Amino acid sequence: MGEIDCRNFETKAVHGESGFESRTGAISYPIYQSSTFRHEGLNKGTGYDYSRTGNPTRDEVEKTVAALENGRACLAYSSGMAAISSVLTIFKGGDHIIVSDDLYGGTYRIFEEIYEHYGIEVTYTDTTSTENIEKELRENTKAIYLETPTNPLMKITDIREVSKLAKEHNTLLIVDNTFMTPYYQKPLELGADIVLHSGTKYLCGHNDALAGFVILNDERLIEKLRFIQNSVGAVLAPFDSWLILRGIKTLHIRLDRQQENAIKIANFLKKHKKITKVLYPGLEEHVGHDILKSEASGFGAMISFYVDSKETVEKVLESVKVIIFAESLGGVESLITYPYTQTHADIPDDIRKRLGVTDKLLRFSVGIENVDDLIKDLDKALQA
């Protein structure tokens, strides 16, 4: 059938790149669970040789995610961290990267404990201020790496403004779009060069697969990253590719419900006597609310909030019943996480405290459950 002739996100998400498998007409794109492919003779192939290099199911999910981000190409990896690592391999010793100071602990770990050993220099700064970024630019600065909203403090960076600065200095702009997904935010259209996703999260949506994606437009970078992807081999397996394809079909429906729930929960938390501060970009008073509103079509479903004491943290995590105390985010189930000892444990304590990742902070990934049940569960846990 070829590419679906439509521009609307929802239809692209439901039908994927192909709409159906052309050979059999299968509506659910087949899982090509094969490591190798037969040749009819010398120089007579099907376009597939070995699944590390290319697999039909992985090709379908790559083309689908590229279409959703309005990118020229997408590369699929075995995890979000594998995707980030692949991108970082395009840099060499002596290169300098400016990075959001508030970011996922695993990303901080890979910068500090892996790529530092290869001589890549990293400066962390508050990227919500373009002036801060400009101050950190050097002759050897090769990239600016953003999370927006950041994890877990929900800080918002103006992608358009940073992209202008990056282009002026011939610097790549890399944006982790995991929290927002291409349904709400398209960084390539805002000027980014490379977009990253932990596909494990919202793209999958069911907490049953690990995946990572890199989306980009520049042919030179595409060729370089494809070579790295094939050479290193941390590729997305056929079955996981199929799980992500299945999850993407309902991405827009899930996110709309999750965001609707998140807005109600954020407003409930604002009024609770044991909550000292709520961080949710959908609240008008949230710093960066207007920037995100101008660059995205939604605010997402991630909430972070501070409670009045560490004792309250412990009571909440031990008392929630509907909400699950677990790491990760973006699934249909609501998950609550303690960044201080979980997702951000690898960040030094002094940096965590300076940023505000304290022992009173909780991160909440809002699911698709009935919002009244979620609020009731939170209220009971806070009163425990």
Q: Which residues are catalytic?
A: 52, 104, 176, 201
Q: Are 382 and 272 in contact (CB under 8 A)?
A: yes
Neighbours of 89 (CB within 10 A): 16
Q: Name the CA radius of gyration of the chain, rounded.
A: 21
As a whole number of angstroms, the distance between CA 146 and CA 223 comes to 23
Q: Which of 243, 251, 266 is nearest to 332 (CA)?
A: 251
Beta strand 96-100 pairing with 194-198: unpaired
Give the residues across from 146 on adjacent strands.
175
As a whole number of angstroms, the distance between CA 76 and CA 380 comes to 41
Beta strand 73-77 pairing with 275-279: unpaired
Q: Which residues contact 278 (CB under 8 A, 6 or more apart)?
A: 266, 269, 270, 303, 304, 305
